[in-house]
Structure 1
Amino acid sequence: MLLSDEGQELLARLREHDPADDLAVATRLRRTHDAGLVAAALTQARLRQRGAAKFGADAGRMYFTPHGLEQSTRAPVAEHRARRFAAYGPGAVADLCCGVGGDALALLRHGLTVTAVDRDPLTCAVVRANAEALGLAERLEVVCGDVTDVGAGGREGVFVDPARRTARGRVFDPEAYSPPLSWALGTAAAGSPGAVKVAPGIPHEAVPPAAEAEWISDGGDVKEAVLWFDAGGDRVRPGARRATLLPSGATLTGRGLPDPPVRPVGRYLYEPDGAVIRAHLVAEVAEELAGGLIDPTIAYVTADELRPTPYATAYEITDVLPFHLKRLKALVRDRGIGVLTVKKRGSAVSPEDLRRRVSPRGPNSATVILTRTAGTPTMLLSHPVTP
């Protein structure tokens, strides 16, 4: 319905639509249009507005299902992955469990031929419509079927994104994924290259020895992990661990370093990006910063010098104190701190509760870091700095 001229006209009229006006707009439009078409257009308008957070300006021309939008890869992450595929030069990629096409669209934009496979007919129609809307349909083949039956279809490159949710919520057993993770890994391992999208919390011991594991963050939020394979060459490093930070694209690869030393808090504290922590690469960051850990179990790096790094956020420490609520309240009051950012790692204290009890007031701002130093509950008063 939405692809008809009438549907396109409705979508164009609803482009700047405020969802708060749904009832009034629906009532008005139903006077001249089919009620079902109006409902579909309003739903799509809302989904496009939500989709802007993942797809930017493209969302205004794309089509979504609620589940498909929720599970889709955000554009910067898909773009990064497509760039890696294109650099490896497979020419054609099978996108298995393609969803609404976020990854397929990125692969197409990098000049690759894509076979997108999904078992849901509506989702397949959405992928086709999205490629048409963005002018990318020429090199796209959509196959509607079970990926375990269709397979990679002879494509050299393979990308698999198993569904980790059902109608009842998140699935924690990898063999209950759709398709099972073992099938996804086996299929991707035969690719040249091949990749499987997995949850960022995947245990390191669950990563196959033949895979290179890459954790990806976007704007500081860890979004996913990808297991890379290359059955036909040496374009990935089996056993390697990598952290990639978007939008900068900075990539840190593990060098097998031992745990950093534990040392007293210096002038600066560095908070590594979540992808660095997930990839177990804090030691690489500590070496780069000539720093050490404040506690053997806490992923905070401390150093005496301020050095630039894309892999961590730096804070200048002004006070290192044993955790004491009354003392913190007095410090905040005496220094006129009205904006208090509370960060924590290794502390059971609720930031919201602490902020409420401290009652910050005044023109100044500060960051308090609740953590442990050498096993002792500690509060570090600080402010962010840029090298």
Structure 2
Amino acid sequence: MKYIKNIFIKIIAINMILLLTIYLFPFTAQARVLQNQPSIKSPSAILIDASSCKVLYEKNAHQRLEPASVAKIMTLLIAFEAIEKGKANFNDQVKVSERAWKTGGSQVFLGPGEVQTLETLLKCIVISSANDASVAVAEHIGGSVEGFVRMMNEKAKELGLKNTNFTNPHGLSDPNLYTTAYDIAIIAKELIKYPKFFEWSTKLVDYLEHTDKKREPTMLANTNKLLGKYEGLDGIKTGYHEKAGFCFVGSAKRGDLRLISVVMNAASSNDRFEDTKKLLDYGFGYFNSVTVAKKGATVKRIKVEKGLQKDIEIVYKEDKSVLVEKGKENEITTKIEIPDKIIAPVKKGEKVGVLKVYQENKEIGQVDLVAKQDVKKITYFDILKNLIRGLL
């Protein structure tokens, strides 16, 4: 009996040692990552990889909240898309309406009837969070504020955002205006595709020259207090009113890794920026990005049969990066699948092959490989012309 009792005690002791070992010394990198997640004060927050949209941290990320001026990132996205599609131009002359002039909250003091370029108004929104400029932009692109708000909500639906509803282009308080940290992160991911945005978001100070030259220029002061104080940080948007609390959408890039953080409803301005630093520190501390494809970069040249050209350049269709835990970069491998030759005609952008991406020998993604230029099919006349040229 004493022998059995001793064995039982040893078994209990061994199990306790194992449990303590697992608790005190997690044996996987994933466990270490989870154990070191930041402590965030703000009621709602999220951190994502901008390339893959993978969520690295979240806290009440799908809770509906008022976004205050953070709503303007959708206003900016709609404007940039309209310019990209040729429906608007940075040089468009925009006349400031009385409605825009009367808009309360943060302003750059545009006068009624004042004319500014669309580019200038967008700069005012990015740097100084100008509500009057937001209304002027909305009326110019949407035909009216109401028409522009419809565009904002249509875009939210297109992006698959189920917890977002806009009622104005500036974010002033409205019980029917709401979004979430997650939805804001997705909008921000779309906005930062436009390099022009960063020309303004990284400026600490600028000036607005008014149409009425008798007026002094309005100073545009950036409200992003992390600019120049956090490595790699280059945007995106602050927001505040009493109901929304202090909000901030951050973006920072180090190497090939770009992170987007969102903090909502913080109790103070200091809290939103401190929480942002904690989120970004966590992301850069435990994750890395491995670039496997660069849009437009040459993969190889392959032969073209029956074409006016003997060969053609094959390029990556898009950028592709893979997020991995630090120390696991070597787990990422790639394989190119492409024919030795193709037959003309070939159109620019036509898919010719594929790059397959693997992690620990498991396929995790693909990138299309496309023709860099057109190659016309050779005709009998082309053959005859080449023959004559050869004889001469």
The answer to whether the superposition gives a TM-score over 0.5 is no
Greater RCO structure (CA 8 Å; 6+ sep):
2
Band the TM-score falls in, shorter-chain normalisation: under 0.3
TM-score with structure 2 length normalisation?
Answer: 0.26
TM-score with structure 1 length normalisation?
Answer: 0.26
Bigger radius of gyration among the two: 2
